[in-house]
Amino acid sequence: MKSIKAGSLEIHYYEVGDESGNPVILLHGFPYDVRAYDAVAANLAGHGYRCLVPYLRGYGLTRFLSHETMRSGQQAALGADLLAFMDALSIRTALLGGYDWGGRAACIVAALWPERVRGLVSCGQGYNIQDIANAWKPAPAVEEARYWYMYYFHTERGRVGLTQNRRDVCRYIWSLWSPSWHFNDATWAATAPSFDNPDFVEIVLHSYRHRFGGIAGDPAYDGIEGRLATQPAITVPSIVLQGQDDGVDPPTKEDFDYPHFTGFYERRIIDGTGHNLPQEAPEAFADAMLTLAEVR
């Protein structure tokens, strides 16, 4: 494991492959960690790529540089962290891949700083930029039911529950979101300690409260949030991967993401796969990254 000071964080990350290879940055989601990309990174490193897999804010050993910094989980903070990580490592351009929170960070950098992104693989919600101004609008009941955890995290009971029972909550989410993924205790145990980060609870709660417009964000990111509010298009070559069995964000017959992408674009639905797509279907994820590497 390596670490580097980037923006407001000391980011810990794994690096696999030749340091002189073209960089690929792989970003995990909630509630997962860098272990989701072990097989993907090994595959891409075997093709000559330099793979970097950082712990997001609030996960693993990644830490804030100051006690005074707001423990924000808002989308703009995640995007800013990724950009700062690239700057700190002097990475001018990279292929980005992510899902859930990590996919959101990748989409934000691809949309706002396309000159830094050679290609994007985004899983689940392909266009993963929140439309906070319209987040109050109710969805169909079946969709609202899948978001139980978001509403739970809006309550004090949810705060205490996540604090005291974070491993139970997160493992249950794994089983709900990936019903066809039969992970074992060893796989779970490799990731679970990442949730012991002292900022995990505050960042998770802030993320799910902010996205509905119910709590203020960090003023440091107001400029980025203002730009995201326009729902900017993603112009870089992109492939969206969706797990057919995703228990929280299942693919729809109509591709609602497509209008947000103006460059090369593909949607691939992966059978027998749930929400944690890179860990459940690493070959499909790596193949998408390699496809983008050939797009001009």
| Range of the structural domain that residue 84 is part of | 2-293
Contacts of residue 152, Cβ cutoff 8 Å, sequence gap at least 6: 158, 161
pLDDT at 1 over 80: yes
What does each C-alpha distance from 259 to 2, 76, 235, 264, 265 come to in angstroms?
38, 22, 11, 12, 10
C-alpha 173: how far from chain center: 16
Instruction: Quote the CA–CA distance of 199 and 45 in Å, as a whole number.
Output: 31
CATH number at residue 73: 3.40.50.1820
Q: Is residue 185 within 8 Å of 133, Cβ to Cβ?
A: no
Q: Cα 275–279–280 angle (5° rounding)?
A: 65
Q: What is the pLDDT of residues 59-84, one digit of tens each?
A: 999 999 999 999 999 999 999 999 99
pLDDT > 70: what percent of the chain?
Answer: 100
Neighbour tally for 216: CB within 10 Å: 13
C-alpha 28: how far from chain center: 5
Helix and strand element counts for the chain (H, E): 11, 9
Contacts of residue 249, Cβ cutoff 8 Å, sequence gap at least 6: 124, 125, 146, 242, 275
Element (H, E) at 209: helix 200-210
Contacts of residue 285, Cβ cutoff 8 Å, sequence gap at least 6: 40, 97, 121, 123, 241, 277, 278
Task: Say how many domains are in the chain.
Answer: 1
Residue whose pair of structure tokens reads 């002189």 in the numeric block? 20
Start-to-end CA span in the chain (Å) = 33
Q: What is the pLDDT of residues 13-34, one digit of tens each?
A: 999 999 999 999 999 999 999 9
pLDDT at 296: 73
pLDDT at 89: 98
Coil vs helix vs strand at 154: coil
Instruction: Round the average pLDDT of the chain to a whole number and report it.
Output: 97
Residue 240, phi then psi, degrees to nearest 5: -100, 125
Q: What is the pLDDT of residues 163-202, one digit of tens each?
A: 999 999 999 999 999 999 999 999 999 999 999 999 999 9
What mean pLDDT do residues 115-137 have?
Answer: 96
Contacts of residue 176, Cβ cutoff 8 Å, sequence gap at least 6: 247, 248
* pTM of the full structure: 0.97
Indicate if the alpha-carbon torsion angle 228, 233, 238, 244 is positive or negative: positive
What mean pLDDT do residues 27-50 have?
Answer: 98
